[in-house]
Amino acid sequence: MQRYRQKITEQAAVAERVDVSNERSASKACGARGDERRRGMVLLLTLVLLLVVATMGYTLTVRVAAARHRDNYLIDYQMARYACDSAAKYAMQTFSNYSANLISRPNEPDFSEVFALDDVKLRDFLMRWAEWAERNKVRSRMFDDLADPNEEEGLDYVNRMRQATSRVNSADLKKIEDIINSGQIPDIEALLSGGGPGDLGGLTGGLDGNDYGLETMEDEWAVDYNDPNFLNVPGPYGHPWPLIAKPIEFEIGTAQVTVSIEDENAKYPVGWAMLDDEDIERKVEAGFETFCEWMETEEVRFDIEELKLQFDAIKKIKPFSMEFKPIKVQEKETVRRVFPAARTGRTTSRTATARTTTTTRTVTRSLPATLHRSDFAKLCHTPLIDSETLAAPTVESGTRRESLLKYMGMWGTDKVNINSAPRHVLEAAFTFGGKAADIADKVIKERQEEPFKDIADVKKRLYSYGSEIEKCEKYITTVSSVFTVRVKAVSGVAESEVVIAVEKGAAAQATTGGGAARSPGGSGASGQGRNKVNIIAVVSS
């Protein structure tokens, strides 16, 4: 019995030790799991803290960068505005002394229908023309203006040719120089052999061109059809239409400034579509439809009726007129008169005083007729006209962008310069007289040989269309008087642009009534006679 009790006691002790061991193991397992939870919580809190810090850092960085970008943009924009305003003042002060000279272009590709050609058709047209020019030894301003002493390549050619012909007599040398300066390329082989084509035939002495590199000149005449400038067809002033001069580029501070001048009389006057004259209403509509249809392509179609409604909205506000008259306004004016004190022979103790009276009278003042143009220029640059639709490109590439808006005169013009207008503008203008397409063809051929001097010259050279030209005489001109000076300044990522419409010459002298024109900066910009400049309107962006 005692041994049995002892055995039970030992078994109880063993079971107790096992229980204690199990409890200790369970306690250790619980502690391990608790440590793991704590470490997980610490890691989670660390990740949350890092995420918060990263978000705060990113937000702060973005705000600092945005503030810096905004500050830099404001600085760049102020520089661009300053440069644009300064360049505009400079342009207006110098433009009065600039003359837009038309050129004869007998050896040039004609610009009249470039607007209707995409790059593929234009390149094909110019390649065919270039092959003709090379075959006929014709030198063009399009590649190298030999008559311009500022062009290095042309000047080098002229100098070498004059040097090579130094041994011929003065009469023959004069013949060669005349042809060089006219853009005609002399036949090198004929010159080297002592003869030449046409007027150059029978030169007295042979020329040795080996010492002067004349035998390599024909290689220099080769045309690079891949040159982007190959598609820049010279216009009526020798520069791509509608420019009257090569754009000027210069720097003012950190801003890059570009100044260009366009001929507005070479464009279709939108004022014609706002004429309040029932006698010519149908002709106006026909001309405008012809103008728009020339610009349409398979991809771009214009809603002509919608455009007419937009023009009618402006016509209701103010109808357009071909003969604007000075504006008469009545103003009240205060007149103050001082009457001196009356003198008498008697001596008094009081001092006589002067008497003052004030009266009001009505006076009539005359304002220049050019203010009508200003009104229409402002109306045409309001949301009344959907300029975004008009600016939709009909042809767009890396070097060209054609649109209906490009060929529309939005500055109150009333005449078309037949020396500088493209074909669709010419046909719209000659619609008033009839036989528009035939007259436009004749005008394009004649002006390429020599620009028209005046309307009398037009009637003389186009004598078979005398009656038609007589009917549309008040809608055409041979000298442009309205131009736009476009000044664009770019500084960093900011840019500023201002467009100034000006009237120059005798027309400006007549419409200003002798008053000085006002420049963008407020100063007068006037001249005498043909140099008179009057500002029509200013649009900035």
| pLDDT tens profile 88-143 | 988 888 888 888 888 888 878 888 888 888 878 887 887 787 777 777 766 666 55
What is the rounded distance in angstroms from the CA atom of residue 375 to the CA atom of residue 225? Answer: 46
Question: Is the pTM for the entire model greater than 0.85?
Answer: no
Residues 6+ apart with CB under 8 A from 151: 144, 145
Question: What are the CA-CA distances from residue 23 to residues 16, 18, 26, 53 (Å)?
Answer: 10, 8, 5, 45
Both 316 and 188 in a single domain?
A: no
Both 275 and 162 in a single domain?
A: no
Give how many domains the chain has, as a whole number: 2
**222 class by beta-carbon count within 10 Å (0-12 exposed, 13-18 middle, 19+ buried):** exposed
In a domain, 210, yes or no: yes
Question: What are the CA-CA distances from residue 118 to residues 128, 273, 382, 406, 529 (Å)?
Answer: 16, 28, 31, 16, 43
Query: Domain span at residue 217?
Result: 114-236
Among residues 360, 385, 412, the one where a domain terminates is: 412
3-state helix, strand, coil in the chain (%, to 5): 50, 15, 35
* Nearest of 427, 430, 417, 414 to residue 477 by alpha carbon: 417
Both 147 and 197 in a single domain?
A: yes
Higher pLDDT, 364 or 244: 244
Alpha helices in 296-343 (DSSP H): 304-317
pLDDT band at 181 (very low <50, low <70, confident <90, very high): low
Strands 393-396 and 494-504: unpaired
At 285, list the tokens. Answer: 């509509």
Residue 143 in 3-state DSSP? coil
Element at 128 (helix H, strand E): helix 119-135
In a domain, 203, yes or no: yes
For residue range 335-388, what is the model confidence (pLDDT) as tens digits? 777 767 655 555 555 555 667 777 787 777 777 777 888 888 888 888 888 888
Both 137 and 226 in a single domain?
A: yes
Is 60 exceeded by the pLDDT of residue 528?
Answer: no
Both 179 and 286 in a single domain?
A: no
For residue range 308-347, what is the model confidence (pLDDT) as tens digits? 888 889 988 888 888 777 777 777 777 777 767 655 555 5
Q: To the nearest 10°, report the CA torsion of 233, 236, 237, 240.
A: -30
Both 302 and 387 in a single domain?
A: yes
Is 50 exceeded by the pLDDT of residue 463?
Answer: yes
For residue range 166-179, what is the model confidence (pLDDT) as tens digits? 444 455 555 555 65
Both 383 and 295 in a single domain?
A: yes
pLDDT band at 229 (very low <50, low <70, confident <90, very high): low
Both 186 and 286 in a single domain?
A: no
At 487, list the tokens. Answer: 């000044």
In a domain, 397, yes or no: yes
At 499, list the tokens. Answer: 């467009």
What is the rounded distance in angstroms from the CA atom of residue 272 to the CA atom of residue 439? Answer: 20
Both 188 and 304 in a single domain?
A: no
